[in-house]
Amino acid sequence: MESFRTELKETPTPLIAALGSPELQNKVLPHLRTVNEGFVPKLRIASLPRAHRLPVKKELCEKHGTFSNQMQRDLDTYRTQGILKTQWLKKHHELLPAVVLLFDEFDPCWTLLDWQQKETALVDDVMQLKQTVSAREGRVVVLLVQQVDDADGTWRNGTEERLADLRRRLDTDTKGLVLVTSKDMTRTSSVVVKLESSVRTMALEYYKAQSKRVKRYEKACSRTLEYQALHARFCFKIAHFYEFRRCTTKVLQYYEASYCAIIALPLQKDGAADGIAYKQVMTMAEFVNFKLCYHLIFSSNNVKDAVDQLRRHVGVYARAIAVADRAYEHWAWVSRQYHVFAQLLVEALSIRGSLPSAGLESSVYKEPYLYFSLAAKYAIFRRKAAMKLGLTTASTVQTVMANGESMSERDFVVVPSSFVGGDPLVSEVRAASQDQSVAALVKYRHTMEKSVPHATQSLTLLEHALQCLTTYEAEQNAPRNRLKGRLLVHLGTERLASGEYDRTRMELQKAKEIFSTENCWAQTAQILKQLLVCTFRQGDTGAYMDYSLQLLSPVVEEFVSLKERSRIQDSFLTAWRDPALLGAPFTQIFALQNVHELALDRSRAVFALTAQFDRASAYVNEDVTLELKLRSHFPLPLVISKMELVFNDERYRTMLYHQAGAESDTMTCVDGRFSRSLEFTHKLVKEIRVPMRVLDERQLLSIQEVRLATSGATTVPD
């Protein structure tokens, strides 16, 4: 919800403007606010100086000319340029008060002449203020603050006469003119309590009148299907005025009507028939969807309807990419819908502790981690779409000026649109002509997109999803290992894209352990490929060869194509013999990592090996034969330069060397050096018989390791 304006996110409260001396306001307003704390809706009382001028209604603003009432406009000639004005929400939240409290001083000791002067000046100020406020159906309440203590009632009669005369001149009643004496400046004062009640009632009546006024326009537009944009605008305004009054049923009714009118509007690159561009439509749909989901969750406690609304909303617009070269904007929009909904659920859980599952197909649909993960998914789509256009930090294509310098936001003059979601008017600072153009707008969009930390956004969403999932597992005592593994995979992939290689390996390794433990070899193979890319970029030769062997293992052979396996084998042998040939990362640190030893265990079973003696027992000085059967799972033929047999007795250590051109089953021995062909073909079993003589001083003989080495210095014990 960070991208939303404050006035959209917050629940609207009736606005009361207090005009007058700060000294007088501070004597009354703290008590008035304290009394109001116990009521709903709460009032927002803004303290303003006496000279503050409230906005004038446009029908009365001479510099804009005279506008007739909208009910009298000819709808056939009216061209709708947008759905909602950008400043409309802020205007009613912060600028246009429902009630104005005008503070002034009252002293019963004033002489008749002094009182007449004060009275005349006050009447002039109130009449001028009423002219502005009454045009919008607001109310003005005059608060006279008497600081002189009149405990004995000396001036009571004169005070009542003066107040009655002033009410007559102002054409108001006891609620419109209130005297607050020094003894009334307490929280429990009946005057303050009645004042708060009357002000709150006036404010609610003001918003009720506003909703009725807009309803007349809405009914006129709803009769014609051609004015869906106006219908959506008026329904939104009516719903928002009902929000001030906390009428949840009416709020949902009119926001729903506004949403239905919005989704009926066409999505086009340029303005539609009524002049509405597609981005305005989707932005307003987003606003109304947020309001619907917010009130369904917090006001109605109806999570099912909120989930259904989100599904409908995403179903309408998720695949509606109106402009192909702005796909990154679309995926950002989709990601934001899920992100906002997840934030609403998190906030609801923090307040209530749990959410109802009534009507939901699964309790998972009320869990925030689901929507954080979906938001991250579409954030990744956004990054990839931006990358295609060269709009990410890792891209080579840049938005540049004629002199070759990269452009930034300061190179544009931007005039925001007056409608929500509208395209701004953009011109280039250094251009020959300062006229707005479509080309400048496109450059501006691209420049702004390049400033977005795409990887950071998706990483943040994934971390939130993982955090919520961990909380869910702890509370429900229900492990979700595979889901956690998928989140870790996405986290690792995004960290890989952002260059955080150490954390990438850590998170992908955790995910690999989860999936391999559950024998999910397809996912394990994909993770190993990401780890291979990560170690390649790091230049970590040992880890690169390790993950290469795991990818060549028969366990994941079904999920790695023969072409990929062959390429991995070639890279593995290159890294084994001379890592510098793989490129710059290995060249820079090769001198520090020139010896590696890899154990061929279950996850790296690139050789299948069985070894046994031709008999179970033998006497000293008798000849026995060790029978070895090896099968290679390397996709391409592989030549081993030497094979070392390690026993539990060092005296039996034996070395076999490769002899090129020798027959596959022929073993030669020259001066105790055994030679034969050590070339292995994919999945063909090679049998090797090694003659040995039994030595004394040993009762039990066993083979412990078979070490394979190429022409390089690296060995692979099996």
More confident residue, 318 or 717: 318
- Report CA torsion sign: 76, 80, 84, 85: negative
Structure confidence at residue 336 (pLDDT): 96
Phi/psi of residue 78, each to 5°? -85, 125
Structure confidence at residue 405 (pLDDT): 55
What contacts 299, CB < 8 A, 6 or more positions away? Answer: 248, 251
The tokens describing 714, both together, are 């690296």
What contacts 468, CB < 8 A, 6 or more positions away? Answer: 342, 346, 367, 368, 369, 372
Of all residues in the chain, what percent carry a pLDDT higher than 90? 51
Q: Give 402's DSSP letter.
A: T
3-class SS of residue 643: strand
For residue 476, count CB atoms less than 10 angstroms from its CB and return exposed for 0-12, middle for 13-18, buried for 19 or more: exposed
With a cut of 50, say whether residue 488 has pLDDT above it: yes
Q: What is the DSSP string of 292-341?
A: HHHIIIIIS--HHHHHHHHHHHHHHHTT--S-GGGHHHHHHHHHHHHHHH
- pTM equals 0.84
More confident residue, 599 or 12: 12
Residue type, 579: P
d(CA 718, CA 712): 17
d(CA 597, CA 266): 64
Q: What is the DSSP string of 650-662?
A: GGG-EEEEE-TT-
pLDDT tens digits, 57-111: 765 444 444 334 444 454 566 677 889 999 999 999 999 999 999 999 998 888 8
Q: What is the DSSP string of 220-233?
A: HHHT-GGGHHHHHH
- Report CA torsion sign: 181, 183, 187, 190: negative
Structure confidence at residue 711 (pLDDT): 65
The answer to whether 410 and 443 are in contact (CB under 8 A) is no
pLDDT tens digits, 658-692: 888 777 678 888 877 888 888 888 888 989 999 99
- Which of 2.20.25, 3.40.140, 2.60.40, 3.30.300 is the CATH number of 606-717? 2.60.40
With a cut of 80, say whether residue 438 has pLDDT above it: yes
Vertex 446 angle, CA 279 and 338, to 5°: 50
Banded pLDDT at 153 (limits 50, 70, 90): low
Task: Tell me which of 119-123, 165-169, 433-437, 506-510 is least confident.
Answer: 433-437
CB environment 140-150: b (16+ within 10 A), e (fewer): bbbbbbbeeee
pLDDT, the chain, mean: 86
With a cut of 70, say whether residue 593 has pLDDT above it: no
Q: Give 395's DSSP letter.
A: -
Vertex 269 angle, CA 267 and 275, to 5°: 75
d(CA 522, CA 555): 10
For residue 414, count CB atoms less than 10 angstroms from its CB and return exposed for 0-12, middle for 13-18, buried for 19 or more: middle
Distance set, CA 111 to CA 31, 58, 563, 679 (Å): 31, 42, 105, 121
What average pLDDT does range 134-147 have in this prediction? Answer: 90
Residue type, 432: A
Q: Are strands 15-19 and 44-48 parallel, antiparallel or unpaired?
A: parallel
What average pLDDT does range 359-364 have in this prediction? Answer: 89
Structure confidence at residue 113 (pLDDT): 92
With a cut of 60, say whether residue 242 has pLDDT above it: yes
With a cut of 70, say whether residue 706 has pLDDT above it: yes
What average pLDDT does range 193-215 have in this prediction? Answer: 94
What average pLDDT does range 245-263 have in this prediction? Answer: 95
480-592, what's its fold? 1.25.40
The answer to whether 217 and 71 are in contact (CB under 8 A) is yes
User: From the CB of residue 194, how many other CB atoms can be counted at a distance below 10 Å?
Assistant: 14
d(CA 9, CA 39): 21
With a cut of 90, say whether residue 357 has pLDDT above it: no
How is the chain split into domains, by residue range?
Answer: 6-54+96-206, 224-454, 480-592, 606-717
The tokens describing 218, both together, are 């809405």
Task: Tell me which of 216-230, 480-494, 558-572 is least confident.
Answer: 216-230
User: From the CB of residue 469, how many other CB atoms can be counted at a distance below 10 Å?
Assistant: 20
- Report CA torsion sign: 627, 632, 637, 638: negative
What contacts 124, CB < 8 A, 6 or more positions away? Answer: none
More confident residue, 683 or 646: 646
Query: In the β-sheet with 623-632, what is the strand arrangement from edge to edge?
Result: 607-613, 623-632, 685-693
What average pLDDT does range 521-546 have in this prediction? Answer: 92
Vertex 581 angle, CA 564 and 593, to 5°: 100
C-alpha radius of gyration, the chain, whole number: 40
The architecture (CATH level 2) of 6-54+96-206 comes to 3-Layer(aba) Sandwich (3.40)
What average pLDDT does range 515-530 have in this prediction? Answer: 93
The tokens describing 12, both together, are 């609207």
The residues facing 680 across adjacent strands are 638
More confident residue, 322 or 505: 505
Q: What is the DSSP string of 487-520?
A: HHHHHHHHHHHHT-HHHHHHHHHHHHHHHHHTT-
Structure confidence at residue 61 (pLDDT): 44
Structure confidence at residue 698 (pLDDT): 73
Residue reference for tokens 């000026």: 401
Structure confidence at residue 225 (pLDDT): 65
CB environment 632-641: b (16+ within 10 A), e (fewer): bbbbeebebe
d(CA 664, CA 37): 94
Ramachandran area for residue 487 (φ above 0: left; ψ -120 to 50: alpha; else beta): alpha
Banded pLDDT at 208 (limits 50, 70, 90): very high
Structure confidence at residue 94 (pLDDT): 93
Domains 6-54+96-206 and 606-717 share a fold: no
Residue reference for tokens 């001198």: 591
